[in-house]
Amino acid sequence: MSSLSVLDLSPITQGSDAATSFARSLDLARHAEQLGYQRYWLAEHHGMPGIASAATAVLIGHIAGGTRHIRVGAGGIMLPNHAPLQVAEQFGTLAALHPGRIDLGLGRAPGSDPATARALRRHLQTDPDAFDRDVLELQAYFAGRRPFGVRAVPGEGADVPLWILGSSLYGAQMAARFGLPYAFASHFAPAQMLDAIALYRRLFQPSAVLDKPRVMLGVNAFVADTEAEARLLMTSLEQAFVALRSGQPMPLPPPQAGFTDSLPPSARATLEGVLACSVVGTPDQAASQLRALAERTGADEFMVTAQIFDHEARCRSFALLMEAWTA
């Protein structure tokens, strides 16, 4: 059976602040650990009024320090925003503080709008081979091969498993070529999911860290006592997504009954497409939907995310899903 993990964007809800989001993230991580979730990953986004996980490595340290055994990591670090040496030092530090518990997912998107990306990187020059080179350089630092004669201290010799993240065929090819596990962002970009999985498995080359393909899929989950309640919880994500696509990102709003009915058909179709990898309903309904996705994809692991306005409802959604999944 596919294992379950948690993806957290540390959402900032309307009327709240980042400090509250961080406290809620730690509470959710402890909750997930007790429930048996395998990993707790945090995502790097910048300039987003509804997402507090911009300083991802710092927040990973906060979560790992407040939990006992659940793996904690990045889903992911957007490598174009960082020097590989800096990432090796940060995650080498985390691995030294929390041995055997730190994961590092790597993405090549900026995780921000162009102006914010420019502020992060100072330029927007792109090189199609840069991401590949940066991953190889990062691997070299962890392996102690000293790229350019430089050591990563901490970092050298650190046990930090790398994952390649993607939402297109590029990441699938790269993960396969490097023999690394692959996490697909199907929770917001499912269009190429099946093609990417098939390509990754077909091209996979065994490596020192992985002898066969390993696929993780992102999935949204909204689980409640009734289907109507679960669908109402999902309207917070739907509102936030529509706002983001219209260029007006906002803090995560409270649920709004009838929200999708108020949208034009084109907007409803867009939402249905981008959020197609979602399980919504009662525990039995959600588990059944997730099992169907597992059968269709053969995923080894699901990275579950839930942008739910009410913290208690969010925690309960994760509990109900895990209880039904393992029943």
What average pLDDT score do residues 215-219 get?
A: 98
The whole-number average pLDDT for the span 25-36 is 98
Q: How far apart are CA 96 and CA 21, in angstroms?
A: 26
Strand, coil or helix: 4: strand
Assign 275 a pLDDT band (cuts: 50, 70, 90). Answer: very high
pLDDT the model gives residue 109: 81
Q: What is the mean pLDDT of residues 118-143?
A: 82
Helix axes 56-65, 18-35, angle to 10 degrees: 50
pLDDT band at 243 (very low <50, low <70, confident <90, very high): very high
Check whether 125 has a pLDDT greater than 70.
Answer: no
pLDDT score of 126 more than 70: no
**The pLDDT of residue 123:** 62
244-272 pLDDT, tens digit each: 988 999 999 999 999 999 999 999 999 99
Looking at residue 100, its pLDDT comes to 97
pTM of the model: 0.95
Does 290 have pLDDT greater than 60? yes
pLDDT tens-digit readout, 75-105: 999 998 999 999 999 999 999 999 999 999 9
At residue 128, the pLDDT reads: 57
Q: Is the dihedral of CA 102, 106, 112, 114 positive or negative?
A: positive
